[in-house]
């Protein structure tokens, strides 16, 4: 990213060699194109996410670590499948949750409390593009996670079912899951104090990691807890991915419905309740 | 065709519940120099004192306030006090107008309602009552049309905590079609060496200058600068002042808030003195300081001089009074003749006038007279 990128298409203004005192301050107000704003927003959001150490830990290192660890120790009760085949879909679901929910909630919560959202609200940037940039950055991080986790999975002997036909189902699940988790994250970030968001987002992350069918199947849970877990988005996402990638089936209507309901409800609530400052 | 004002505010009212106000403090204000009312008190205070000292080494305006005939209580009773229902009236029937191409300073102590007024003009807050037009448009309803045209400098915060100074400025530049070159602007504000520094590690003064850069990078017609020099050192203030003067030369309308008198006197075409949510005086610095008298003559002498007889020796329109015991103030057209008349009268009465000095009223004198309080207190 160079300064030249950000200079207007006209490149007006006697800047550069002349040094200080030669800025052309005469008014020339106009909003940039939406595409340019979107690109700039996405790029900075992505850079900032990848720069935050805790975010990389949460979205990259923990999922990869869990995948490698549980593959090695093989805690799975069933002998009918390789543990890596069970684990990859679960860890993919965890990765989506960590990026779309936990990371986004914490970052957005602090941006709100630091006045970033207020400040950007005073520029020509529409809020829709601000949010679109966030979403695009989340999706970009998810692509990196996906590549990383699939590579590690294959290295560990992962053998997915379904072949190329699984790709649309996987994408549908990830997109719906991203929407549901983003809604939940933005709902928190837009209403709670930043510190409360930080605590709650981490707590929910841990809870959903444990009862989300990520590293062990829901069937290990007591009946009542399992009933709760099955309507939570993490279990729906991990279960759906597992249906596709481990069993070679479709994503499961129930899983898609659970994710869609979470997405609609949380995004709707977030849109109503979000406070920008 | 009627001239469109850059800013027109009529009868503005804004109340807050006691706890919420415009947030001058936030987590972003980590540095000691940016924590609320105490910030930069030292540097500003000493700067002001130093400036006065050159003109009048020992004089302080306060002693005269108690005997002043000017309306010290003009605005005080209106009070930014608690209303019966526990709400606080931050802005209380405030009206002002800002011509296109001018620099206007909103001057007043902390809590006077400056930031609330500016944030309503910026579209961040909705007024309880009153009409606000920015470049002839409504700041909230017409926000989309106004945002490219209006640059905003918040009092604090507004940056991604992990973003570097250069990244932040380039981001805002990318929201505009014909922005300034961010690198040149950083250079102009002495921030080139800080371009790679994360926002949270910038000094308070660097954060202020970056915030100023973000307000002007989109080449707006109108900029609102909320306390642009708070917490800046001398060099930083000068850099900021020069940029504001250049903006004016380039035809940009500037509205700034300050509680630094010298800033208002140096920069502003129009000074609007605000206290307790109301406008207490409007005018150019010269008009305001001229007030009812062209100048002042102060001296010390034994108490009990017969001032009525002194006035007989002076031109019509001149006033004289004894402030604290033994301190005299003569107001009127101060010229060599007046000076000669006063000293001649004293000599004729066998009185030694000591510590005699001529001075212009400063905006601070005006402010003290109008509000009965010192700025920044």
- Residues 15-44 of chain A with CB under 8 A from chain B are 15-16, 19-33, 36-37, 39-41, 44
Residue A16 lies in a domain: no
Do B75 and B198 lie in one domain? The reply is yes
Domain that holds residue B190: 7-16+57-288
Specify the 3-state DSSP secondary structure of A141. helix
Residue A25 lies in a domain: no
B103/B106 Cα distance (integer angstroms) = 10
Q: Is there a single domain that holds both residue B280 and residue B297?
A: no
**Is A56 inside a domain boundary?**
yes
| Shortest Cα–Cα distance, A163 to chain B (Å) | 41
User: In angstroms, what CA-CA distances link A95 with A102, B145, B338?
Assistant: 10, 40, 85
CATH of the domain at B314: 3.30.70
- Would residue B41 count as lying in a domain? no
Chain A residue with the nearest C-alpha to that of B172: A123
Q: Is residue B1 part of a domain?
A: no
CB contact under 8 A, A27 and B149: yes
Residue B54: per-residue pLDDT: 35
| Cβ contacts of A134 on chain B, cutoff 8 Å | none
- Tell me phi and psi for residue B16, to 5 degrees: -125, 155
Same domain for B241 and B328? no
User: Does A7 reside within a domain?
Assistant: no
Model pLDDT for residues A54-76, shown as the tens digit of each residue: 999 999 999 999 999 988 887 66
- Decide if A172 is inside a domain: yes
Please tell me the distance from the alpha carbon of residue B36 to that of residue B374, in angstroms, as a whole number: 18
Domains of chain A: total: 1
Residues B278 and B330 in one domain: no
pLDDT at B40: 36
Residue B259 and residue B277 share a domain: yes
Residues on chain A touching B158 (C-beta within 8 angstroms): 114-116, 118-120
pLDDT by residue (tens digit) across A6-35?
444 444 444 433 444 478 999 999 999 999
User: Domain span at residue A244?
Assistant: 32-273
Q: Which of A30, A48, A118 sits opposite B148 (nearest CB)?
A: A30
**Helix, strand, or coil here: B53?**
helix
Per-residue pLDDT tens digits of chain B, which is 377 residues long: 456 899 999 999 999 886 666 654 434 333 333 333 333 333 333 333 333 333 333 223 333 322 233 333 333 333 445 666 778 889 999 999 999 999 999 998 888 899 999 999 999 999 999 999 999 999 999 999 999 999 999 988 899 989 999 999 999 999 999 999 999 999 999 999 999 999 989 999 999 999 999 999 999 999 999 999 988 999 999 999 999 999 999 999 999 999 888 899 899 999 998 988 999 889 888 888 765 446 778 888 988 888 888 888 888 888 888 878 888 988 887 777 888 888 889 888 888 888 888 776 777 777 777 776 665 54
In the block, residue with structure tokens 């019966």: B84
ipTM attached to this prediction: 0.86
- Length of chain A (residues): 277
Asked if residue B323 and residue B270 are part of one domain, the reply reads: no
Which DSSP helix (H) or strand (E) runs through A189?
helix A166-191
Residue A23 inside a domain? The answer is: no
Q: Are strands B295-300 and B87-98 parallel, antiparallel or unpaired?
A: unpaired
Do B113 and B224 reside in the same domain of the chain? yes
- Residue A157: inside a domain, yes or no? yes
Indicate whether B199 and B245 sit together in one domain: yes
Counting the structural domains of chain B, the total is 2
Q: What is the pLDDT of residue A64?
A: 95
Does B278 share its domain with B297? no
In a domain, B250, yes or no: yes
Q: Is the pTM of this model over 0.80?
A: no
* Residue with token string 């709650």: A200
- Residues with Cβ within 8 Å of A123's Cβ and at least 6 positions away in sequence, in order, are B147, B172, B175, B176, B218
- B182 with A113: Cβ contact below 8 A: no
Answer whether A44 sits within 8 Å of B163, measured CB to CB: yes
Token pair of A52 as six digits: 């935050």
A12 in a structural domain: no
């Amino acid at each position: 990213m160079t300064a030249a990128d950000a200079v207007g298409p006209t490149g007006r203004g006697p800047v550069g060699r002349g040094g200080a005192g030669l800025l052309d301050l005469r008014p020339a107000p106009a909003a940039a194109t939406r595409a340019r704003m979107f690109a700039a927003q996405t790029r900075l959001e992505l850079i900032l996410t990848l720069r935050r150490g805790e975010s990389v830990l949460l979205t990259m290192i923990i999922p990869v670590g869990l995948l490698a660890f549980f593959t090695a120790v093989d805690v799975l009760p069933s002998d009918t499948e390789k543990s890596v085949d069970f684990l990859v879909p679960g860890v993919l679901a965890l990765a989506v949750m960590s990026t779309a929910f936990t990371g986004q909630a914490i970052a957005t919560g602090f941006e709100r409390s630091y006045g970033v959202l207020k400040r950007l609200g005073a520029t020509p940037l529409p809020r829709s593009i601000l949010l679109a940039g966030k979403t695009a950055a989340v999706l970009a991080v998810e692509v990196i996670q996906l590549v990383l986790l699939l590579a590690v999975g294959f290295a560990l002997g992962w053998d997915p079912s379904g072949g190329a036909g699984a790709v649309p189902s996987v994408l549908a699940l990830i997109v719906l899951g991203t929407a549901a988790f983003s809604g939940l994250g933005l709902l928190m970030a837009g209403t709670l104090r930043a510190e409360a968001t930080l605590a709650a987002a981490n707590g929910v992350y841990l809870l959903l990691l444990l009862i989300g069918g990520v590293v062990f199947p829901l069937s290990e849970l007591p009946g009542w807890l399992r009933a709760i877990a099955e309507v939570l988005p993490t279990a729906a996402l991990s279960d759906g991915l597992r249906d596709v990638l481990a069993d070679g089936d479709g994503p499961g209507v129930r899983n898609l419905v659970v994710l869609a309901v979470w997405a609609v409800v949380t995004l709707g609530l977030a849109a109503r309740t979000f406070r920008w400052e | 065709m009627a001239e469109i004002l850059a800013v027109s505010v009529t009868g503005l009212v804004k109340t807050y519940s006691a706890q919420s106000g415009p947030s001058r403090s936030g987590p972003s204000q980590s540095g000691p120099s940016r924590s609320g009312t105490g910030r930069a008190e030292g540097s500003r205070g000493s700067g002001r004192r130093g400036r006065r000292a050159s003109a009048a080494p020992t004089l302080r305006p306060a002693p005269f306030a108690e005997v002043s005939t000017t309306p010290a209580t003009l605005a005080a009773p209106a009070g930014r006090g608690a209303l019966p229902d526990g709400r606080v009236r931050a802005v209380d029937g405030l009206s002002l107008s800002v011509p296109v191409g001018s620099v206007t300073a909103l001057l007043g102590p902390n809590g006077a309602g400056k930031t609330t007024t500016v944030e309503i003009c910026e579209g961040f807050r909705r007024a309880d009552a009153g009409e606000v037009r920015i470049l002839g448009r409504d700041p909230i309803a017409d926000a989309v049309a106004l945002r490219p045209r209006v640059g905003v400098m918040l009092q604090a915060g507004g940056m991604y905590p992990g973003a570097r100074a250069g990244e932040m400025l380039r981001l805002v530049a990318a929201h505009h079609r014909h922005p300034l070159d961010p690198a040149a602007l950083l250079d102009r504000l002495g921030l080139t060496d800080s371009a790679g520094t994360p926002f949270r590690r910038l000094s308070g003064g660097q954060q202020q200058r970056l915030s100023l850069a973000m307000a002007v990078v989109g080449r707006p017609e109108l900029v609102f600068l909320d306390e642009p020099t708070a917490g800046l050192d001398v060099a930083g203030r000068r850099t900021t002042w020069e940029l504001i003067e250049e903006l004016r030369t380039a035809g940009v309308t500037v509205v700034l808030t300050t509680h630094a008198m010298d800033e208002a006197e140096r920069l502003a075409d129009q000074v609007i003195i605000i206290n307790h949510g109301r406008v207490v005086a409007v005018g150019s610095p010269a008009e305001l300081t001229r007030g009812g008298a062209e100048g002042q003559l102060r001296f010390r002498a034994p108490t009990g001089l017969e001032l009525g007889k002194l006035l007989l020796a002076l031109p019509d329109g001149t006033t004289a009074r004894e402030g604290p015991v033994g301190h005299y103030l003569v107001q009127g057209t101060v010229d060599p003749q007046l000076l000669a008349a006063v000293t001649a009268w004293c000599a004729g009465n066998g009185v030694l006038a000591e510590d005699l000095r001529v001075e212009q009223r400063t905006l601070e004198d005006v402010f003290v007279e109008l509000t009965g309080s010192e700025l920044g207190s």
